[in-house]
Amino acid sequence: MDLELRGKRALVTGSSSGLGAAIALELAAEGVSVAVHGRDRKRTGETASKIRDLGVEAVVTVGDLMKDEDAKAVADTALAELGGIDILVNNAGAVLRMDNPDWMDVAPQEWLDAYNLNMGATVRMSQHLVPGMKERGWGRVVNISSSGGSQCNGVLLDYCAPKAGVDNFTVNLSKNLAPHGITVNAVIPGTILTPAVERWLVTLREQLNWPDDIAHNERVYTTEFLPQPVPRLGRPRDIAVAVALLASPLSGYTTGALLRIDGGTAMAV
């Protein structure tokens, strides 16, 4: 299926590895020129090189999106190198406390840091890149949220709370931008087997006395710890293909959507 994306230009934040890299590569496979973003220049460059191998343009942007000046520099580089950005994928985010602390053990500044990264970066990059989309009368903003933003199971509270904010921001921003030809949607992944999630599984293994067997622990996670109908963790491409569809001209009637791709984790409508 042709998603009619060839010739579009995208910035994917947090795309030096993991889920973001999968999204960047999926867009590139559809003919999209991609600004790859990360905080490590070497890893960011490696992802950009893989995109160039697909025959499309890739540029490297490096910066800490928790900082206003870095966010502006990343946006400015992407705009200058690609001549504009049609698609913004706000993927940058992370669990800052991988030790799964009790909420009382998370200091107020740590809560603020979690919001700054997981929601603040989304707001910053949208403010920098949406104006150009409005001038051209076309654009796509796809925010990467988390099933934890709406389904609370008592873990990773400092990560899940700002993701709920991303969901709210997505819906509200969609109302503002639809008259300008810009759609704003969010993809809500379940637990996706990325390097960060592999580290999370190690934490759970140590806390819950699981064996040192990732296949076994994947089954336990999806059938006992966080039960879901599909008995496996997601893979990065499960998310990447959804992002590519939402980014395409074919999705012009879809905005303000919170698209769950979570193996059926959600237990309510």
Residues designated catalytic: 159
Nearest to 97 by CA among 16, 203, 221: 203
How does strand 9-12 pair with strand 33-38?
parallel
Q: How far apart are CA 223 and CA 219, in angstroms?
A: 6
| DSSP count for the chain of H helices, then E strands | 9, 7
Q: Rounding to the nearest 10 degrees, give the CA dihedral for residues 124, 129, 59, 242.
A: 90
Element (H, E) at 214: helix 214-220
Asked if 133 and 184 touch (Cβ cutoff 8 Å), the reply is no
Element (H, E) at 33: strand 33-38
Paired with 192 in beta bridges are 234
Asked if 93 and 145 touch (Cβ cutoff 8 Å), the reply is no
Q: How far apart are CA 64 and CA 66, in angstroms?
A: 5
Q: Within 10 A of 29 (CB to CB), how many other CB atoms are there?
A: 17
Nearest to 61 by CA among 97, 28, 15: 15
Q: How far apart are CA 214 and CA 195, in angstroms?
A: 12
* Amino acid found at 155: V
